[in-house]
Structures are given as structure tokens and as C-alpha cells.
Structure 1
Amino acid sequence: MVTPTESIKWKRRPLSTMGQTYKALNFEESVLCSPTQYFKRYIPDDLFTSIAAYTIIYALQQGKSSFNLPMYWDTSLKVNVFWENISRDRFLELRTNLHLVNNLEKPPENKDKFYKFRPVYTAIRKRCSDLPIEENVCVDEGIIPFTAKFTAKQCVRGNQVHGESMSSCCVESVLLFQVLKSQGINAVGTVRQNRFGKNLPFSDDKTIMKQTRGYCEEITSADEITMCKWLDNRPIVLCSNFVGKGSVDEVELWNKKHHKYVKVERSEIVRKYNHAMGGVDLFDQLISSYIVFIRSRKWSCV
């Protein structure tokens, strides 16, 4: 049962029941594959066959009858993978006419802004659905820097980054935790306090900043959704449908003021969150190493 945000009554009390943790089957990758093999698991060959067919259809619609042009790549650079496999003009023609769908088959009522790219999303989603379910699944979102006009573009205030938001799910309100709980899925994540209603019975940030690092307040709703405000270098709000403040342990964290590690009390909800979110840090690190700034809607202008 889902309770509207404005109807939820939060009280200062601990979570009364702890959710059962899913135990995943043990699995290991028996054979280490090449990057190309991993890529083909998500983007299969039949998708490239469809791309080739729709590219030819679009080229014919634009009055192009053939891709067989006489000129080849300049061999002075000696990049064999280019000039031994495809001519320069053929590549430019393919780049200009590249399509994943047939424009004439688009339904008139279709409002999908990603219609022309949807086959790639579908292929990746299908592959992800086939993967074994792990015990801890970490979900995050990222911004692809993009400055051209596009209806899905967003601006991240504070970072001054414009781009397209790419995510699997977003912690927008208590509704997500309620729905996941109804499906037997445990969830924990950092949240924005203002998305969970007004006048929550938390102390304000100024009051909490006067407390010792590691201080934690917990509030819980009638349907056993809990929120904790934990003090690190600043107050952090976490929400969960299966774990609250729970058992407290100590962890060593860096103190910028005294330039040394100090022991800080850590609530169970923080411990569960930190244990499962390592994949996000690795993902962000890899993305930052290969980031591409896109300034045009034309895919080749990167």
C-alpha cells in the first residue's frame, strides 16, 4: 500500500522490524573475455544488421543510390584499420545517413524523445535483465555534458553543468521506498529532505552541527519507512525501508581540522549504505577518465 507523502506521519522512534536481506547465488565469470566480447553481449550483431538496413533506407530516401565511391583514406598516416577496410567517402556517407530505425514507421502518436535511439537502450536493458541478480545492487545517475538544444537537457545547480541525465532510478520521494518494500526489495539511499514532506521532526542543520560528529537522529513512518540524519562533515539524510539507526559501531574518518584520523560513531543504516555503494565511486572514476563534451546534436561532432 502506498501512502501519499502529505499524509505520512513521521515520529521520532526506531524502526521496529528489520527487513530480510536477499541472499544471491554464488557466481563467477569463468572465462575472462576481451572488451569486444563484453561489448557484443550488450550490443548484439543483429542490432548492427538493423542499423545497416535502416541506414540504407534513409540514404535512399535522401536520394543516395550507392555508397561505392572511388576515393580511399590517405595512406600517409598508415592507420591500417581505416584505409584497409573502408574508404573515406564511404565512411562520411555512412556517418551522414546513420539510422537505427525507419523514420516512416514512427507512429504518429509516439512522443518518445529517444525513439531514434531506443533500439540501443532496449538491447542494453535486455542484457542487464539477463544478468544474475546480486545481493547488493547500487544505482546512481550521471550527467553527460551537452550544450546543444535538447528537451531532455538539465542543469545541475551549483555545478553549472548542462547535460542529459542518465539513470536507472532516482530517489525522488518516499514513494520509491514504499513501492520497493511492497515488492520485497530492500533499499537504502541518501535523499533530499524536502522531497519527503514539510515539518519533519528533525533538528535543523545548525543545531545538529553543534553535536559531535557521528550524531544521528531517526524518524519512522507508520508503514515502517525510516529516515536518519547523520552528522559527518555536514548533516546527511538517508532513507530506508529495512534498516534504521540500528546497531552502532565506530569507524576512523579523516579530520580536516586536526589533520588526523578520529573515531566516529556510525549508524547501521550508514554502514549498509557504504558497504554497497563502492560501485558508484568506481563508475564515476571511470567516467571522469573518458568524458566527452558534446556541443552538437549531430552524433559525430564530439
Structure 2
Amino acid sequence: MQTSAPNLNPMQYFDLMFGDTIINMFVHYTNLYAAKKNASKSCPITKDEMYCFIGILLYSGYVIVPRRYMYWQNASDCGMPIIYNAMSRDRFTYIMSNLHCCDNSKLQSGDKFAKLRELFQLLNQNFAENAPFEEHYSIDEAMVPYYGGHPCKQFIRGKPIRWGYKFWVGATRLGYILWFEPYQGKCSTVTSNHYKNAMGLGASVVLEFADVLKEIDKQAPFHLFFDNFFTSIYLIDELRLRGIRATGTVRENRVAKCPLTANKFLQKTPRGTFKYQSTSAEHILVCKWHDNSVVTVASNAATIEPVAKVKRFSQQQKKYILVDQPAVIKKYNENMGGVDRSDQNIGLYRTSIRGKKWYFSLICHALDMAVQNAWQLYKNNGGEYDSLNFRRYVATSLLESYKKNFERKDTRASGLFRDCVRFDGKNHIISATKKLILFVQNVM
């Protein structure tokens, strides 16, 4: 983890996240897979070609066409010289059909994401090494859109992305992803079994992220925030014993018989009413606050004081009113949305090219996470580009720097559009050209 970084351009920040080590890994395993699949037709991929391939994927995030072959069509409505001058359509298809980041003969048994494990480990390592130093981190779930068949595909009702892979993510307040881990179900061998057996799946995710933070800095005063899927009084106490502060919303049946007013009675009180209990020895606070509904928060660090005033709209009085809000609720609201912010940033310009293999969407998501993190570092160090211009800078830099040394020759326009203007009878007057003038002079 670094507290500051030198002034770098966007391409250099991208290299910190998705640099030569990862590119060389893709080149090596893609060539290995292509040679094993069909040695007679394999054509080794170079590092420059892989960079161009990555650049095209990034380009597809903000210039979207219905079919990826349209990037190479010689038509006035979709021809894109920056793409077809960097890589041919057939070469892109060849790389995409053979793209790999593992050796299929050495996959770890029991890991449903073994084909991507090395890539995920390298990204987590790069994210942690270059993370900005902060105190507050949030833990939540993130969805990667996928509609094909895979045993880990999830459906979560009410989410912006309902179908896809679920990731556990630890992020800063502004959305820098420090750690991620794909969800594999309750039988996962990757998630620490001793955590899971003791406190359940949600707590095991938080404790694994806590271990990651402690490896980065054992003395830093980290403060974790998470929602009611993860929170229990036992988890809050375990984190206190580890020297990590924690705050999270908690379900009513997980407050370990804390003597607080039941939700059904608290809902009948005026808006802004709150009740709380705390332990003197463990310094664990449980607070219930009546807002639109009753919210319960547990913490081993935050307190009730100072009580702030927040503006809410009253349906009865038909105007905005001020209601009390405990400090623990305010602190939770200020620091919990980091994972949602990263999802929002990634979703704005998500890679649009799709493949038939189940892991291709995860590779594209890993690339989008790397770009989003690189932009977060860039902004944290005074960069002026917004997310779109940052992505454009990286994509065009890759396509211009690593393209082949010659441009594609002129080709005939697509026949789909050529005939409709060939016989329309408009603007087909013969114009005098140098070649035509010489021909007429020779004839005469």
C-alpha cells in the first residue's frame, strides 16, 4: 500500500494494475492452449498483439456496436480505422477463441474458478500494492453480468444486475477495489473453512478481508463497514479482538438477545427516535433508529454522540422536517457505499464485446476493474481526466503504440449497403478526372 504516487500519465497508472506480468501470462497460456488444440494451425501471439487485443476490448466499452465484426467493416456508418489499422478481424478472432490465463493440465481441483485463479491473484496483489492509504473500507457483494450456463451463476432479485457471477469485494469509500473474491457456493474450498464453520459465510468473507488488511499494515487503525448479510455481534467482537474497528447494520434476530425495544413497537414512535445499549467491557454498541423503517446498527468503535439533524420529508405535514440521527448511523452512511461506487464506475463503460466461453466475461470484468482502479489512483493524485477520457486515453494509447506498421489497403464497401445506392439514380454524374482526360485526349 502506498500513501502517494508520482505524477504519471493514465497509461502508466494502467500498467500498475494490468502491466507486463499479466500480459505475458496471457501470451504464454494463450499460445500454449492454441498449440495443444491444433498445433498445425497455431500462429504464436506476440506481446504487442495482446496489448492491441486489450485496447480493442477497452475501446468497445465506450464505442458500442451490435456485432463486433462491425468494427472492421469498410462502411461509412461503422468503419473504425483505429481498430482495423491496429489488428485484423481474423487475428482478433483467433486470439479471442484461444484466450487463456492458465494451464488446463494443472488446474486446482475443487476450485470452480481455477481457470482464472492466477489472474485474480495477480490483480489482488497489484491492487493491494498500489492502494491509497485510507482508514475506512466497505465490504459488499458485486454482480458480473452473465446469462450463460455455469454452476456459480446467481440470481439476486432487486439488483441492477440480476443474473451473473457474484463477487465479494472490499473497497475504499470512493470505490478503489482493494480485494475481490468470486463466490462459489457454500462448498467453496477457497474461502477459509475454519472461519465459515465458526461464524458462517458472511463473517468468513469479512475476516478474510481483515487478514488482507493486516498483511498490508498490522498497526493501521482500519475501520470496516458492511451490511446485515455479514453482521453479527460475534463478528463485531472477533474484529475487536483483532484490533479492527467495525460497524454494520444487523438483523433483529442477530443481536444476541440485546435488551432493546422490538422493531414493531419502535415503528410506532416519532420519526428520529432511537434506542441503544452498549457493553462496558467489550465496548460494543447496538443502536436502533426509526427512519423510514427501523434500522439496527452494531459497532465496536462508533458512538451515539454527537446526535446530528437530518432533513426528511414528512407525508403528514407535507414539508421537510429535521429529525435526530445518531453519529453511528451517520458514519455508516458516509463510508458504506464504496463497492456500489466501483460498480457504478465499471457499469458506465463496461466492455461490450461478448464471447461464448464462460470465463471471457470474467476476464473482461477483471480488465474493467483494473481500469477503474487505475483511474481512482489517477484522480487521487490530481488527475484531470474523468472516467471516460481516462479510458479513451488508455485504449487509444494501446492501439496506436502497439499496432502493426502498415495500414489496411482500401477494400470494397460492404455489399449490404453498396447496391442500395448504386441504382438510386441520384448524383451519378461523371466527373472529370486526370485519368479520364488523358483517355479522351488519346482517343481524339
TM-score range (shorter-chain normalised) is 0.7 to 0.9
CA 1:163–1:178: 2 relative to 1, 3 Å:
farther
Q: Which residue of 2 aligns with 1:245?
A: 304
Query: Is 1:37 matched with 2:12?
Result: yes
Q: Which moved more, 1:226-235 or 1:139-148?
A: 139-148
**DSSP-derived class of the 2:245 partner:** coil
- Write the mapping of 1:1-302 to structure 2, written as runs, cut at 5 A: 27=3, 31=7, 33-34=9-10, 36-64=11-39, 65-67=41-43, 73-76=72-75, 77-107=78-108, 110-130=109-129, 131-157=131-157, 161-168=162-169, 169=205, 171-197=230-256, 200-220=258-278, 223-280=282-339, 282-290=341-349, 297-299=357-359
Q: CA deviation at 1:115?
A: 1.2
Q: Which amino acid is the alignment partner of residue 21 of structure 2?
A: D
Contact persistence 1:228–1:239 (CA under 8 A): yes
Q: Structure 1: which 5+ residue stretches go unaligned?
A: 1-24
CA 1:150–1:53: 2 relative to 1, 3 Å:
same
Q: CA deviation at 1:296?
A: 5.8
Q: CA deviation at 1:289?
A: 3.2
* CA distance in structure 2 between the partners assigned to 1:73 and 1:254 by the alignment: 54
Q: Which amino acid is the alignment partner of residue 187 of structure 1?
A: A
Contact persistence 1:228–1:244 (CA under 8 A): no
Q: Which amino acid is the alignment partner of residue 116 of structure 2?
A: F
CA 1:223–1:297: 2 relative to 1, 3 Å:
farther
Write the deviation string for residues 195-225 of structure 1: whole angstroms up to 9, x where unpaired: 445x553333221111111111223456433
Q: CA deviation at 1:102?
A: 0.6
Contact persistence 2:149–2:358 (CA under 8 A): no
**DSSP-derived class of the 2:239 partner:** helix
Write the deviation string for residues 234-283 of structure 1: whole angstroms up to 9, x where unpaired: 11111111124343222223335544321111112112212323535533
TM-score, normalised with respect to structure 2: 0.53
CA 1:119–1:285: 2 relative to 1, 3 Å:
same
CA 1:122–1:264: 2 relative to 1, 3 Å:
same
* CA distance in structure 1 between the partners assigned to 2:252 and 2:331 by the alignment: 20
Q: CA deviation at 1:233?
A: 0.7
Q: Which amino acid is the alignment partner of residue 9 of structure 2?
A: C
CA 1:30–1:211: 2 relative to 1, 3 Å:
farther
CA 1:292–1:88: 2 relative to 1, 3 Å:
closer
* CA distance in structure 2 between the partners assigned to 1:150 and 1:225 by the alignment: 41
> Larger helix proportion, structure 1 or 2?
2
Q: Structure 2: which 5+ residue stretches go unaligned?
A: 45-70, 170-204, 207-229, 365-444
* CA distance in structure 1 between the partners assigned to 2:252 and 2:350 by the alignment: 31
Greater C-alpha radius of gyration: 2
CA 1:122–1:210: 2 relative to 1, 3 Å:
same
CA 1:231–1:287: 2 relative to 1, 3 Å:
farther
Q: Report the identity percentage.
A: 30
CA 1:292–1:127: 2 relative to 1, 3 Å:
closer
Q: Which moved more, 1:273-282 or 1:202-211?
A: 273-282
* CA distance in structure 1 between the partners assigned to 2:292 and 2:17 by the alignment: 40
TM-score, normalised with respect to structure 1: 0.76
Task: Give the RMSD, CA atoms, in angstroms.
Answer: 3.2
